[in-house]
Structure 1
């Protein structure tokens, strides 16, 4: 699936949980995205978790999760980071 295809799908059914979380976030459902991601204990999930807290404005919590993901706090926009995560996960 390409990024453009991912952006326009109408339902996250059949996606991996990580992509489901990104889909919910892109569809204005932060709470569901967070609920999905907090149940997964991987480096990739920590990255999405960090992004979600950054988007929420909880910089301290975001820093913690970026550290868990082995990443520095990003300087790119939220939309650029979302695209980077989506492309990375779609290629896996």
Structure 2
């Protein structure tokens, strides 16, 4: 179910429901994909310090994508392909 939950969280983030997406992203602080999504959400929020914290352990970095929208689409594609 985690994959379906993460896809839901990405869709919520894309639609502008930061709180809904954040509630799902923070359910597993050890999982790299949860961490990646959590990092993107804090990037959207403008909380660079917190965002960079969540990127650690995600396999990605703050600078990897040109925009949060592109990054959300990348995470959605990764989840859909897997």
Answer whether TM exceeds 0.5 for this pair: yes
Structure 2: distance between partners of 1:67 and 1:32: 22
1:22: which partner in 2? 10
Q: CA deviation at 1:72?
A: 1.6
Is the aligned partner of 1:83 residue 2:73?
yes
| Unpaired segments ≥5 residues, structure 2 | none
Structure 1: distance between partners of 2:27 and 2:35: 10
Which 4+ stretches in 1 moved above 3 angstroms? none
1:11: which partner in 2? none
1:71: which partner in 2? 60
Structure 1: distance between partners of 2:59 and 2:11: 23
Q: CA deviation at 1:26?
A: 1.3
* TM-score under structure 2 length normalisation: 0.87
How many residue pairs end up in the alignment?
78
TM-superposition CA deviations, 1:7-29 (whole Å, max 9, x none): xxxxxxxx711101001111211
CA-based RMSD: 1.3
Is the aligned partner of 1:31 residue 2:19?
yes
